[in-house]
Amino acid sequence: MSERPLTERIDAAGGFVDGGRYEEMGGYVAARQAVTSMTPQEVCGLVKDANLRGRGGAGFPTGVKWGFVPDVPGRKYLVCNADEMEPGTFKDRYLMENDPHLLVEGMIIAAYAIGADRAYVFLRGEYHESYRALTAAIGEAHANGCLGESVFGTTYALELAVHRSGGRYICGEETALLNALEGKRAQPRTKPPFPPASGAWGRPTIVNNVETLCNVPAIIRRGAEWYQSLGLGEDSGTKIYGVSGRVKRPGLWELPMGTPIREIIEQHAGGMCDGYRLRGLLPGGASTDFLVEEHLDLAMEYGAIQAAGSRMGTGTMILMDDHVCPVDMARNLQHFFAQESCGFCTPCREGLPWVEQLLLDIEEGRGTAEDLELLDHNAAFIGAPGNTFCLHATGAIEPLMSALKYFREDFEAHIREHGCPYRSGPGSAAEADDGAN
Amino acid sequence: MSEPAFIDVLSQAEIDAIEIEVAHLPDRPSAAIDALLIVQKHRGWVSDESLAAIARLLGMSAADLDSIATFYNLIYRKPVGRHVVMVCDSVSCYVMGGESLMMRIRRHLGIEPGETTEDGRYTLLPCVCLGACDRAPVIMVDDQLAGPLAESDVEDVLGAFE
């Protein structure tokens, strides 16, 4: 009954959608329609009316973002952020590996809408299969006149190339991504100016996520009203939701925007594995605040999740079960963020490793009540927006702050009992492993 | 173009592949990361000699290029084995037993993360989320994903890489 504009072709093809299948199933009709019979302003207007919001995590209205590109002569760029490095997130890989032409078509429409004649896919270096699928699709699109000097026989020209990343989480931040695209260290830039005014090589640039761009062809083909009607609540369209952790069927599902968390976990992911109980979840990747049992009936949409103190983020949730120590999971998360800090500003570069060390001390039974206070203080200081140059540290602290709030008793028990109640003794991960052999 | 003495460290195939990337970009230094990855694909890692040659080819200083090379996780400035074994240590794999999997791989290979086996066959590296969390815990050997990986699978999976 529900429609799935992002994944219906993959389901129909039973997996990979090649160029021929894509065209048979209505592929490139939307791009042809946009480029040959609509003005760029009409395309922008339609996407704005559809209320498509960015699927990379921030949820900014896509059509509004496109409208920020100034009407100036000269080169403009469209960049697809395919640097899917948010831990727990695996949705863009699925789209690129299985239906690469959908992304190519979405990029043609977006580039046309903003007047870009150059476009790049900024792709994770580890996504080898996506690279093969995308480069083949781009080649086919060129051969079929969908890209190149004359797109669909018009005077509109567009070149599309794939840039493979050298690998750093900070490349997901759009101005850091632009520095990386320019071949530099991926350090975030001062904002303003924002990329629509001055982005890649100082030119107007729009950066959009893979899933966001994949929504565009269906909006052009079927209209803003239809797209809005797909969502269950205040947000439009469908969303690729994902679940990882101790569930019976971890995976991805394209569902109406606003599907309740409980339905995603219990119905689609098959519920928790036998012998495991859900204690908490990160709703949209590692940099989102924990939610707990009381939040399970919330709709997975931007506003509802934000009102609960978290963010929908990428919409791919990571579940924490009752066998996982919340302190140690927080340590694992902070290890990631500390390692991936670009090192530019002090609270992030020095603060995150400090936080990781405090968590390790508490986990291994050396923590004191003062350490817990210090952790609270550091979390508040490092996480406060404005104390760091970009939002890396702010995102890093989201799961920590919420872990300190919801799993306080676990932190206190570690300090009281001088060790981790989830382990048989200090350093017992190694002992458990030895025991198994 | 530039002085051949520096350039001829690179093979014609490497130079050609780099020039294809340069053609997509407004200036030559913008191809720095692409060029480093291309040379690494041919040689396994980026030596000081390779680095200097790439810098010269792109019209930038070797120091600048090294600051870029050392920023990125996937660019190796030290030799690696014939196969690079990357073990995800991010949160979804952590929840699914990634740490004991890493321990098993360390024991099987007899090396610590960051080291290469004596026979030069494997280099072991921890890595960030591989974007395959429905298959956690996962590892990636060269460009191939394996997961969900039980500890008892380790020997067979790694053994397939000569």
**What pLDDT is stored for residue A352 in this prediction?**
97
Alpha carbon of B133: minimum distance to chain A alpha carbons (Å): 6
pLDDT at B81 over 90: yes
DSSP state letters, A396-420: HHHHHHHHHHHTHHHHHHHHHHTS-
Mean pLDDT, chain B, rounded, equals 94
**A118-123 and A77-82: which strand pairing?**
parallel
Instruction: Look at A318 and B92 and tell me if their CB atoms are within 8 Å.
Output: yes
**Is A253 found in the same domain as A335?**
no
> Which of A269, A296, A321 lies at the terminal end of a domain, its last residue?
A321
What is the Cα–Cα distance from A236 to A241, expressed in whole angstroms? Answer: 14
pLDDT per position as a tens digit, B122-145: 999 999 999 999 999 999 999 999
Residues A88, B127: C-beta atoms closer than 8 Å: no
Domain final residue pick, A321, A354, A373: A321
Mark whether A220 and A257 lie in a shared domain.
no
Could you tell me if A301 and A358 lie in one domain?
no
The verdict on a CB contact (< 8 Å) between B92 and A433 is no
In a domain, A174, yes or no: yes
CB A123 within 8 A of CB A83: yes
Are A136 and A275 part of one and the same domain? Answer: no
CATH number at residue A361: 1.20.1440.230
**Which architecture characterizes domain B5-71 according to CATH?**
Orthogonal Bundle (1.10)
CATH of the domain at A28: 3.40.50.11540
User: Residues A333, A317: one domain?
Assistant: no
- pLDDT bracket for residue B8 (50, 70, 90): low
- Tell me, yes or no, whether A194 and A253 share the same domain: no
Q: Per the CB < 8 Å rule, is B71 touching A166?
A: yes
Residue B3 has pLDDT above 80, yes or no: no
Average pLDDT value over all residues in chain A: 95
**Does A167 sit within 8 Å of B95, measured CB to CB?**
no
Residue B134's nearest CA partner among A244, A272, A436 is A244
Which of B30, B31, B91 faces A318 most closely, judged by CB atoms? B91
User: What single-letter DSSP state applies at residue A44?
Assistant: H
Q: Is B32 on the interface with A (CB under 8 A)?
A: yes
Out of A301, A321, A341, a domain closes at: A321
Whether residue A266 sits in one domain with residue A190: no
Give chain A's domain count.
3
Same domain flag for A221 and A175 = yes
**Dihedral sign for Cα atoms in the order B92, A305, A227, A264:** positive
ipTM over 0.90: yes
Rg of chain A over all Cα atoms, to the nearest angstrom: 23
DSSP string covering A80-111 = EEE---STT--HHHHHHHH-HHHHHHHHHHHH
Question: Is cis: bond before B26, omega within 30 of 0?
Answer: no
Q: Which structural domain, as residue segments, surrounds residue A409? A: 326-436
Do residues A146 and A69 share a domain? yes
Residue B37 near chain A (CB below 8 Å)? yes
Closest CA–CA distance from residue A223 to any residue of chain B (Å): 32
Mean pLDDT throughout B27-38? 97
Per-residue pLDDT band for B57 (boundaries 50, 70, 90) equals: very high
In a domain, A2, yes or no: no
Rg (CA), chain B: 18
**Looking at the partner chain, which of B30, B73, B103 has a beta carbon nearest the beta carbon of A167?**
B73
Q: For chain B, what are the domain ranges? A: 5-71, 83-159
pLDDT digits (tens, 9 = 90+) for A207-222: 999 999 999 999 999 9
The predicted structure's pLDDT at residue B7: 53
Q: Which CATH class name applies to B83-159?
A: alpha beta
A291 and A422 housed in the same domain: no
- Those residues of chain A that have pLDDT short of 50 are 1, 425-437
